[in-house]
Amino acid sequence: MEPFIVPPSWSKGEHREVLAPVWQAAFEALTNSRRWILAGTSLPETDRFLRYLFGLALQENKELDRILILNPAESGYNELFKNLPSRISLEHRKDTFEYVACQFLPRVRHSINFF
């Protein structure tokens, strides 16, 4: 399969069928994670599917305690997450993913001996 870009829309276009297992795995990961780090999208108004996915996972996840958004631009996350339960902290960093990875990855490698 050739790589492709997924459009920020409800139907996800012609790739919907191919992506179904990916979206299911994403939903399961979101509902079973204590922390979310969201990087690489500004969550545009047109991406109703992603907004729905995050909203539904948020309702299902009772263990979530932190959401970190990495995006140097303004985004739609603040509106989506404006009524979070008090147990969940929300942080929006204007850093890029690359910057954060360079800052934290060496510490992560050292602490978990994974790489």
Domain chopping of the chain, boundaries: 13-112
What pLDDT does 101 receive? 73
**Contact call for residues 88 and 80 (beta carbons, < 8 A):** no
Report the half-sphere exposure of 57 (CA within 13 A, side-chain side). Answer: 24
Query: From CA 59, how far away is CA 64, in angstroms rounded?
Result: 10
- Greater pLDDT, 13 or 56: 56
Tell me: the pLDDT tens digits for 18-77?
A: 888 999 999 999 999 999 988 877 888 888 888 999 999 999 999 999 998 888 877 788
When mean pLDDT is compared across 6-10, 84-88, 108-112, the lowest value belongs to: 108-112
* Residue 68 β-bridge partners: 37, 91
